[in-house]
């Protein structure tokens, strides 16, 4: 946004000119000094990353449960979401495995009265050792024929399918177009009774209850991810963390 465009927002522009510009005037970075009205981090790299894919993976920065969801690329995330610019089910499945959850809980920070875990990408995502050949720096097309990737993707799709069926039961919901063209459809309750029921249908409530079908879906996903590492499906958390740490250290040494 140019200075002329920003000045149209009179009150905030005046505030930034009074409070921010004097500080930016002494900044060694030319881009910050000359464009003093702009945010330091505009999110352009993220927008570029998700701009060429139909969907992306997102997870809340702070949450009781470490949940990952798919977001349509036409919907931009806010600052409370961590975005992974990948659109393949294999990456989604690995991230939503118990192994990545355990790793992230050991390396995250904690926030709030409930001491909820805060997903910090630099320590939880960038340090996580993916199965060999299935890491995010490898195009999904390169492992499309890998049976390990296919098994994880199938289990991940099943998990998402079951969750979506619970969140928005077709007998309660119809999907309608947004008033403005170009955006994904949104769910609308079919009647008042359905609207009341849907208020309790949140992912947090689902994972608080953790019904057997959800536990089974995650067990299937975990087994597929464990196999990709060459581990037994019943590997303990401590053993898995030890294996992940060894992979992490080996990566650093190479």
| pLDDT tens by residue, 67-100 | 999 999 998 888 889 999 999 999 999 999 999 9
What's the mean pLDDT in 106-120?
84
3-state secondary structure string across 121-180: HHHHCCCCCCCCCCCCCCCHHHHCCCHHHHHHHHHHHHHHHHHHHHHCCCCCEEEECCCC
- pLDDT score, position 78: 82
Q: How far apart are CA 79 and CA 76, in angstroms?
A: 10
* Torsional class of 85: left (φ above 0), alpha (ψ -120 to 50), beta (otherwise): beta
- pLDDT score, position 182: 87
pTM, two decimals, is 0.83
What's the mean pLDDT in 173-192?
93
| Confidence bin at 138 (pLDDT 50/70/90) | very high
Question: Which residues on adjacent β-strands are paired with residue 110?
Answer: 117
| pLDDT tens by residue, 196-238 | 999 999 999 999 999 999 999 999 999 999 999 999 999 999 9
């Amino acid at each position: 946004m140019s200075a002329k465009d920003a000045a149209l927002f009179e009150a905030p522009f005046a505030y930034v000119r009074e409070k921010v510009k004097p500080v930016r005037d002494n900044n060694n970075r030319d881009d910050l000094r000359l464009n003093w009205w702009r945010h330091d981090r505009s999110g352009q790299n993220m927008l570029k990353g998700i701009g060429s894919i139909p969907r992306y993976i997102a997870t809340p920065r702070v949450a009781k449960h470490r949940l990952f969801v798919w977001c349509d690329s036409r919907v931009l995330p806010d600052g409370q979401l961590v975005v992974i610019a990948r659109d393949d089910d294999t990456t989604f499945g690995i991230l939503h495995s118990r192994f990545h959850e355990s790793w992230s809980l050991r390396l995250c920070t904690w926030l709030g009265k409930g001491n909820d875990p805060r997903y910090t990408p630099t320590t939880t995502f960038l340090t996580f050792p993916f199965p060999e050949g299935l890491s995010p720096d490898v195009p999904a097309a390169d492992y499309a024929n890998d049976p390990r990737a296919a098994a994880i993707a199938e289990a991940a799709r099943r998990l998402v399918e079951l969750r979506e069926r619970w969140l928005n039961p077709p007998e309660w919901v119809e999907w309608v177009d947004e008033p403005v063209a170009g955006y994904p459809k949104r769910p609308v309750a079919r009647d008042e009774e359905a609207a009341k029921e849907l208020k309790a249908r949140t992912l947090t409530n689902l994972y608080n209850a953790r019904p057997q079908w959800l536990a089974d879906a995650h067990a299937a996903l975990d087994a597929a991810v464990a196999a990709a590492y060459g581990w037994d499906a019943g590997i303990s958390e401590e053993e898995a963390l030890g294996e992940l740490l060894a992979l992490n250290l080996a990566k650093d040494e190479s």
